Amino acid sequence: MALEWLALAMLVAFVGVLLIGIPVAYAAAATGLVFGFIGFGESLFNLLPARIYGVATDQSLLALPMFVFMGVMLEKSRLGQDMLEVIGHIAGRVPGGMGVGIILFGVIMGATTGIVGATIVLLGVIALPTLLKYKYDHALAAGTICASGTLGQIIPPSLVLLLLAEIMNESVGTLFAAALVPGLMLAGMYVAYILIYAWRHPDKAPPIPAEERAALSRGQLMVRLVKGVMPALLLVCAVLGSIMGGVAAPTEAAAIGALGGLLIVGLSGKLSLKVLRETCTDTLTTSVMIFFVIMTAQAFSLAFRGLGGERLIQDLFALVPGGATADLIFFMGVLFLAGVLLEWAEISYIVLPLFLPYFAAQGVDMVWLAALICINMQTSFLTPPVGWSLFFFRGVAPAAVQTREIYRGVWPFIYIQLAAVLVVMLFPSIATWLPTSMGWMNK
The DSSP line for 20-84 is TT--HHHHHHHHHHHHHHHHHTTHHHHHHHHHHHHHHT-GGGGHHHHHHHHHHHHHHTTHHHHHH
pLDDT higher than 80, residue 81: no
The string of pLDDT tens digits covering residues 312-322 is: 777 777 777 77
Mean pLDDT of the chain: 79
Q: How far apart are CA 415 and CA 382, in angstroms?
A: 10
Other residues' Cβ atoms within 10 Å of the Cβ of residue 37: 14
Closest CA to 349 of 12, 17, 29, 45: 29
Q: How far apart are CA 22 and CA 376, in angstroms?
A: 25
Higher pLDDT: 283 or 346? It is 283
The pLDDT, as a whole number, for residue 230 is 76
Other residues' Cβ atoms within 10 Å of the Cβ of residue 119: 29
DSSP 347: I
pLDDT higher than 80, residue 204: yes
Q: What percent of the chain has pLDDT over 70?
A: 85
The string of pLDDT tens digits covering residues 328-354 is: 888 888 888 777 666 676 777 777 888
Q: Residue 435 — pLDDT band, cuts 50, 70, 90? A: confident
Q: Residue 443 — pLDDT band, cuts 50, 70, 90? A: very low
Other residues' Cβ atoms within 10 Å of the Cβ of residue 203: 10
Taking only Cα atoms into account, the Rg of the chain, rounded to an integer number of angstroms, comes to 22
Q: Residue 1 — pLDDT band, cuts 50, 70, 90? A: very low
Q: How far apart are CA 362 and CA 119, in angstroms?
A: 38
Q: What percent of the chain has pLDDT over 90?
A: 9
Other residues' Cβ atoms within 10 Å of the Cβ of residue 185: 17
Residues 6 or more apart in contact with residue 384 via CB below 8 angstroms: 390, 407, 410
Buried b (16+ CB within 10 A) or exposed e, 225-246: beebbebbeebbebbbebbbee
The pLDDT, as a whole number, for residue 416 is 93
Q: What number is the average pLDDT over the span 204-221?
A: 70
Q: What number is the average pLDDT over the span 85-89?
A: 69
The string of pLDDT tens digits covering residues 88-112 is: 677 667 788 888 888 887 887 777 6
The pLDDT, as a whole number, for residue 82 is 67
Q: Three-class SS of residue 104?
A: helix
Q: What number is the average pLDDT over the span 241-256?
A: 76
pLDDT higher than 90, residue 130: no
CA dihedral 424, 425, 426, 431 (to 10 degrees): 40
The pLDDT, as a whole number, for residue 358 is 83
Higher pLDDT: 275 or 242? It is 275
Buried b (16+ CB within 10 A) or exposed e, 249-277: bbbbbbbbbbebbbebbeeeebbeeebbe
Q: Angle CA(283)–CA(284)–CA(285) in degrees, nearest 5?
A: 95
Q: How far apart are CA 140 and CA 194, in angstroms?
A: 8
Angle (deg, nearest 10), helices 309-318 and 273-306: 80
Q: How far apart are CA 66 and CA 57, in angstroms?
A: 16
The pLDDT, as a whole number, for residue 94 is 79
Closest CA to 123 of 170, 163, 81: 81
Please, are residues 31 and 14 in contact by the beta-carbon 8 Å criterion? yes
Highest mean pLDDT: which range of 23-32, 166-175, 354-363, 417-426:
417-426
Cis upstream peptide for 321 (omega within 30°)? no
Q: In whole angstroms, what separates CA 252 from the centre of its chain?
A: 22
Q: What number is the average pLDDT over the span 171-189?
A: 89
The pLDDT, as a whole number, for residue 419 is 93
Closest CA to 84 of 112, 53, 52, 42: 112
Please, are residues 364 and 432 in contact by the beta-carbon 8 Å criterion? no
Please, are residues 142 and 406 in contact by the beta-carbon 8 Å criterion? yes
Q: Three-class SS of residue 338?
A: helix
The pLDDT, as a whole number, for residue 197 is 92
The string of pLDDT tens digits covering residues 383-400 is: 776 677 777 788 778 878
Angle (deg, nearest 10), helices 97-112 and 230-244: 50
Q: Residue 228 — pLDDT band, cuts 50, 70, 90? A: low
Say which range, 114-123, 126-135, 261-270, has the weakest mean pLDDT: 114-123
Closest CA to 390 of 400, 399, 380: 380
